[in-house]
């Protein structure tokens, strides 16, 4: 069975690969601009990658591994929620899609942070558009699968039995 360091490296690698794919291929090659929910997904991925990196470098004992795994689980759940909301928006009938609001950068410059998050989560028609698919899955569906896998990894790190010291 792989150790905690190997599993944390795997989580870190998944975060880096996902972010690299989004920035290099989806933005750079295809020219797709990320919607506000995609940007929030990326923020969660960066935070999750940072937790995996800290756990990898720190290499704590059993208690610390459980704490890092728990923190990574909370962040992964946030990612599942964001991606799930995005998938839900994309599944709405056209007449029920919320109106497009201002872009994220404008909101960040003019609104308090909590209002920006509330605005992004409650109404953004630009997030309902499907621009690209792979294997029949839209970008948010792929992101949901990614966060579900990272949640499983995080829960395993947090809850797996460890030998007594």
Burial per residue of 49-62, b for 16 or more beta-carbon CB atoms within 10 angstroms, e otherwise: bebbbbbbeeeeee
At 87-137, the pLDDT tens digits run: 988 888 877 776 666 677 777 788 888 887 777 776 566 777 788 889 999
Mean pLDDT across the chain: 89
- Quote the DSSP letter at residue 61: -
pLDDT at 146: 98
At 22-33, the pLDDT tens digits run: 999 999 999 998
- Spatial contact of 38 and 129, defined as CB atoms under 8 Å apart: no
pLDDT at 107: 78
At 74-85, the pLDDT tens digits run: 999 999 999 998
pTM across the whole model: 0.86
Superfamily of domain 4-159: DsbB-like (1.20.1550.10)
């Amino acid at each position: 069975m792989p150790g905690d360091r190997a599993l944390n490296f795997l989580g870190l690698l998944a975060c880096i690969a996902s972010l690299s794919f989004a920035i290099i291929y989806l933005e750079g090659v295809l020219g797709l601009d990320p919607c506000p929910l995609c940007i929030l997904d990326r923020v969660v991925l960066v935070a999750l990658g940072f937790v995996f990196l800290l756990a990898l470098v720190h290499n704590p004992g059993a208690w610390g591994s459980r704490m890092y795994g728990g923190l990574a689980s909370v962040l992964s759940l946030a990612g599942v929620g964001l991606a799930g909301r995005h998938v839900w928006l994309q599944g709405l009938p056209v007449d029920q899609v919320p109106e497009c609001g201002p872009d994220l950068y404008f909101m960040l410059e003019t609104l308090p942070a909590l209002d920006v998050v509330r605005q992004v989560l409650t109404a953004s028609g630009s997030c309902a558009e499907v621009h690209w698919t792979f294997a029949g899955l839209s970008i948010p569906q792929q992101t949901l699968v990614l966060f579900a896998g990272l949640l499983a990894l995080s829960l395993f790190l947090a809850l797996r039995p460890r030998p007594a010291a």
